[in-house]
Structure 1
Amino acid sequence: MLLTRTTTFTADDVTATALLNCLVREVCAPEQQVWQDDAHLVVRLPRVGVVLRARLARPSAGPSYRLVPPYEERRDDEWLAAPWDRLSDLVAGELELATGEANPEFAAQVADSHAALTAILRARGDSPSGALPSPAVHRYVESEQSLIAGHRFHPSPKARQGAPEQWLPYAPEARARFRPHWLAVRQELVAEEGDTDAFSALEALGPAVPPGYRALPAHPWQLSLLADRPLLRRALSEGLVHDLGPCGPEAAPTSSVRTVYVPDADLFCKFSLDVRITNCVRKNSWYELAGAVVLDRLLRPVFTTLGARFDDCVLLAEPAYRTAALADRALYEGLGVILRRGIRDLPGTPLLAGALADPYGTLLPGLPAMATPDGALAWWRAYVQRVAPPVLHAYVEHGVVLEPHLQNVLIAVDDDGMPLRAVFRDLEGTKLVAGRALADELADLPPRVRQSLIYDPGRGWNRVVYCLFVNHLAETAAAVADLHPDLDAELWTTARAVLSALDIAHRPELRALLAGVPLPAKANLRARWARIADRGAGYVTAPNPLAPPAPLGP
């Protein structure tokens, strides 16, 4: 019989769980202030002198615990309920004492995330999913729009600027659909690079454009945010830009919110959004527009090689961008759109990896392959074989730092849900390792573009290991173990066997990984407290479940 997980949850539970997960990973565990007491995990906040406990859903062989409510605080000889806002205050107090700095924004960000999740849960219940061209596309879009709770290790996983009535019409979690808003821009004011013919399929579905103009799709929310820019108003009044309104087929926002999929054209549009979502303002900076086209060109031969070796894995191409070259950088970046190839030619049904790993989701338990422990273990082996080798070979052999976190990977599956192919996407986080051959090809680019595309080897390796193992495989393994708890340790034994069989397993990076060196875990809580950009986030260490078994005693 297929095991199932509890899918009933509240904004209170999700917010409290995320806060406690962050607290354990980034504060209490590194300071050895965590211990197990029967079915509970007990954590101590050493600076504020408070002891908390959470229920353990099950034992875990992975790098993190599976915490579930109730969450409680020790007062005198009693355990009393510790709701999410109390946890928020305690985390803030501990971090202020640990860093010597206050952050008056922190509690508001947590509260905003809680309010957004409350609105999402209400809206999702009222929003049936709309029909799409095929069952495979429908399941794919459903997977993109299923991440209701967000990142388990972020203190404000659903924080986003604006009131719910502003963003709910464009929220993937509310199953949004909308038509792009089209502009017609004078030919001489269009800035674009790459294979601009790639826009043809999208333009064919859009409005008629006057002679001497080019079509530019825009996100309606973003256009409303830019509406008061003086240069845009002048361009519209002088006829340099025409507002053609919403038109054409509907688009479905993906998990990133600002990137949308247009099924009728089988294309993605990565729009700018001058809105802070979780960590960052989601705009296409000018150097990211240029960099995407450069990376697309350089990585095509790399993925031809990787695809031939590893089950036809692919990187979704980003062949071109387009924007309006008005004399205002905010408009140049804010109207910029990066085109991404679609999913129609993939085998089977593509599903978002994050939806498979979601502890609140129903996608993984519904796969026929997960019905038995043997089937689940075979599924996991196939999953690791398709996701991990191309990422590691890309780094070791080509000096390419992919960013294979749960929202950047699709898994094409067959009718039983067995993985067929890994699909990597989003060049924004993809980098080249300094000093390697591909990075040398960036020498003639403008310095800011070149800088945005390069990591030093240490930073690049940390990013690969965090995204692949801590963010991705550990969360997926945990979701499998939720269904079949007896498999937990065996999942990591299997992953170790897959990695040990790689022909690069002798390389120092892989040897250290397989020897059990601690894993780098991104410090989202500390980054939010320090109010630094996502790219500046540091790491804390997490246990490495790939470590070999301890030797038996004499």
Structure 2
Amino acid sequence: MHRPHTAEDEVAADLAAVRPELVPRFAAELPGARAAVLTRLWRALAHEPLPWVRRREPTGDGLTLWLADGRRLHGPAADPYATDAYVTAVELDGTPYDRPEPLMTALAVPHATGFAVELGHSTASLALSRAGQPAPSAQWPGTDWEWEQRVVDGHPYHPNCRSRPGFSVAEQLAYGPEHRPVVRLGLLPVPERECLVSGAWPGGLRDGDRLLLPVHPWQAAHVLKRGGEATLDAHPLMSLRTLALPGGPHVKTALSARLTSSVRDISVGSVRSAAALSAFGEELAARTDGLLHMTRTLGAATAHSPDLAAVLRESPQVYAGPGERVVPVAALPCTGLPGSPAWLAAFARLALGVGLRLLELGVALEAHGQNLLVVLSSRGEPVRLVYRDLADIRVGPARLARHGIALPELPGRILTDDVTALRRKLFGSLVAGALAATAGSGPALAAALAAAVPDLPDSPDLAALREEPVPAKALTLMRLTPGHAGDLWTALPRPPAVDTI
């Protein structure tokens, strides 16, 4: 009896055609990739408000979930902050499952079929990502994109950490940052009169009265059905659609593909507000006593279509002083620095101090490991922060007014005075995201918070962090609720010992 055809089979077959030398490595990486995705899925099953989970009971050997239809799902105790792949199998009514795709299929809950397919692709793509990695190097990277390309496993907590539907194996190898390619962006000429421009569009990307809009080759092939008249070599960053130009800015391209959770385009509205939002970010950074830099948007343009637009942004490296390095927080585990409790506490103190200061002023950053970077001294100490991509922040007009900060013309979707929404945005991204993933476990996160929080200025927001559960996006619930617009949330237990802060 043959096993059903799976995403793993498809990737193996395609890999044999385009990179046959990687096939043995791919096969060897599959068990670890299955465990990594299964661990992320088990975290969601254990901690998200899934309507078909009736109750959860800790047991001597782990955790049992009672489902609405009477079945029982059993697995290990679930640390919501752990990043190691510690789940190798879970049991559904006594039947063990060591792969996330068949487990989700067997659960047979609403929308499970499509999500199961995504989990299969995530597993296969993760194994592919790991298969092409060189031997680990103790030498730190010398360029911004090399730091970004060290983040091989993608999102630390999303089961779709490496799901790339619509990308063939050849395209993943050609465009995925972890595969370290050089990507040739097309330069598509569009008459300037047909474009909306925010900020200053550089002369090097003009041809007479036409703007040359950088276009990702995947977008050119699958969406626009046309390329540019010239090309620009670039290096993909963590987000895949944002690329670094050697010695120059970063280019955010339109890429109408689903990455992790949603299709993230460059809306006309985001281009229109790009310059105002960038100036607002600079004003806020000036209020942090030099502890935070906001990367400036140099220019944004769109042909009045989210499928054809680009944003030029400063490289965070421009904020590195002599001997310093700017490292994405998602890449910090690659440095070995978080293994030091003192270092981790110092980083938590810096990140929380800055995040809470801005929250008090009225701005909640989406400070996850991709948007947030840390400036390291020559000795590896965390000294300042850099933040990029202001598109998903939340701004509280009432808080701004209390501090005498003028509210610029910003997109309405980012404005809210709802204190829960503001705190969710910051704590969900920074505490349950960047700090948790850097610490790697609940106990390590708790120790860092216990050391950092007493040194922070008291405020109602800090009291909420001390006393309330930690908000986090319910990433799996969102994938299983396709008709819902916007984020869904869960409440994670406070890390052990946080109650004593």
Give the TM-score normalised by structure 2: 0.82
Q: Is the 8 A contact 2:449 2:498 kept in 1?
A: no
The CA distance in 1 between the partners of 2:113 and 2:87, in whole Å, is 27
Aligned residue among 350, 355, 363 for 2:326: 350
2:490 is matched with: 540
What SS does the aligned partner of 2:190 have?
strand
1:334 is matched with: 307
Pick closer, same or farther for the CA change 1:9–1:172 going to 2, 3 Å: farther
Q: CA offsets, 1:127-180, max 9 Å, x none?
A: 799xxxx96533x42331233222243232222221222343111121122232
Aligned residue among 4, 29, 41 for 1:19: 41
| Shift, 1:215, TM fit | 2.9
Q: Is the 8 A contact 1:352 1:407 kept in 2?
A: yes
| Shift, 1:393, TM fit | 0.7
What SS does the aligned partner of 2:318 have?
coil
The CA distance in 2 between the partners of 1:152 and 1:47, in whole Å, is 29
2:403 is the counterpart of 1:403: no
What SS does the aligned partner of 2:196 have?
strand
| Shift, 1:102, TM fit | 4.2
Letter aligned with residue 318 of structure 2: R
Aligned structure 1 segments of 4 or more residues deviating by more than 6 angstroms: none
Aligned residue among 255, 266, 269 for 1:273: 255
1:390 is matched with: 354
| Shift, 1:468, TM fit | 1.3
1:4 is matched with: none
The CA distance in 2 between the partners of 1:548 and 1:377, in whole Å, is 16
1:517 is matched with: 468
The CA distance in 2 between the partners of 1:84 and 1:493, in whole Å, is 32
The CA distance in 2 between the partners of 1:135 and 1:70, in whole Å, is 32
What SS does the aligned partner of 2:398 have?
coil
1:68 is matched with: 86
2:114 is matched with: 105
Q: Is the 8 A contact 1:411 1:422 kept in 2?
A: yes
Q: CA offsets, 1:215-260, max 9 Å, x none?
A: 32222222223334xxxx7xxxxxxxx932214xx31111111111
Aligned residue among 228, 233, 236 for 1:243: 228
Letter aligned with residue 395 of structure 1: L
What SS does the aligned partner of 1:155 have?
coil
What SS does the aligned partner of 1:86 have?
helix
2:335 is the counterpart of 1:364: yes
Alignment root-mean-square deviation, CA: 3.3
2:222 is the counterpart of 1:261: no
2:64 is the counterpart of 1:43: yes
| Shift, 1:28, TM fit | 8.2
Superposed, 1:206-225 pairs within 5 Å as 210-225=207-222
The CA distance in 2 between the partners of 1:260 and 1:450, in whole Å, is 25
1:3 is matched with: none
Letter aligned with residue 158 of structure 1: R
Letter aligned with residue 541 of structure 1: A
| Shift, 1:509, TM fit | 2.2
Letter aligned with residue 494 of structure 2: N
Aligned residue among 414, 439, 443 for 1:477: 439
Higher relative contact order (CA 8 A, sep 6+): 1
Letter aligned with residue 453 of structure 1: I
The CA distance in 1 between the partners of 2:103 and 2:66, in whole Å, is 11
Aligned residue among 140, 143, 146 for 2:150: 146
Pick closer, same or farther for the CA change 1:384–1:102 going to 2, 3 Å: closer
Pick closer, same or farther for the CA change 1:106–1:135 going to 2, 3 Å: closer
Instruction: Give aligned-pair identity as a percent.
Output: 23
Q: CA offsets, 1:433-459, max 9 Å, x none?
A: 14343799557x5xxx63123133221
The CA distance in 2 between the partners of 1:510 and 1:346, in whole Å, is 30
Q: CA offsets, 1:328-376, max 9 Å, x none?
A: x4xx32221111111134131122211224xxxxx133x4x84xxxxx1
The CA distance in 2 between the partners of 1:498 and 1:422, in whole Å, is 16
Pick closer, same or farther for the CA change 1:27–1:407 going to 2, 3 Å: same
The CA distance in 1 between the partners of 2:98 and 2:263, in whole Å, is 32
Aligned residue among 403, 409, 425 for 1:463: 425
The CA distance in 2 between the partners of 1:161 and 1:75, in whole Å, is 31
2:105 is matched with: 89
Pick closer, same or farther for the CA change 1:67–1:135 going to 2, 3 Å: closer
What SS does the aligned partner of 1:17 have?
helix
Q: Is the 8 A contact 1:55 1:70 kept in 2?
A: no
What SS does the aligned partner of 2:463 have?
helix
The CA distance in 1 between the partners of 2:31 and 2:112, in whole Å, is 29
Q: Is the 8 A contact 1:71 1:81 kept in 2?
A: yes
Aligned residue among 525, 529, 533 for 2:480: 529
Q: CA offsets, 1:24-55, max 9 Å, x none?
A: 12158996514253xx4233243351232238
What SS does the aligned partner of 1:150 have?
coil
2:274 is the counterpart of 1:322: no
Aligned residue among 108, 113, 125 for 1:116: 125
2:414 is matched with: 453
2:4 is matched with: none
The CA distance in 1 between the partners of 2:230 and 2:407, in whole Å, is 39
Pick closer, same or farther for the CA change 1:115–1:165 going to 2, 3 Å: same
2:181 is matched with: 176
The CA distance in 1 between the partners of 2:332 and 2:191, in whole Å, is 45
The CA distance in 2 between the partners of 1:413 and 1:36, in whole Å, is 43
* Runs of 5+ unmatched residues, structure 2: 1-28
Pick closer, same or farther for the CA change 1:294–1:543 going to 2, 3 Å: same
Aligned residue among 381, 384, 390 for 1:427: 390
2:17 is matched with: none
2:165 is the counterpart of 1:161: yes
Pick closer, same or farther for the CA change 1:532–1:112 going to 2, 3 Å: farther
* Runs of 5+ unmatched residues, structure 1: 1-6, 234-241, 358-362, 371-375, 482-487
| Shift, 1:405, TM fit | 0.8
Q: Is the 8 A contact 1:25 1:64 kept in 2?
A: no
Pick closer, same or farther for the CA change 1:262–1:441 going to 2, 3 Å: same
2:9 is matched with: none
Q: CA offsets, 1:508-536, max 9 Å, x none?
A: 2222322x211112101111000156x61
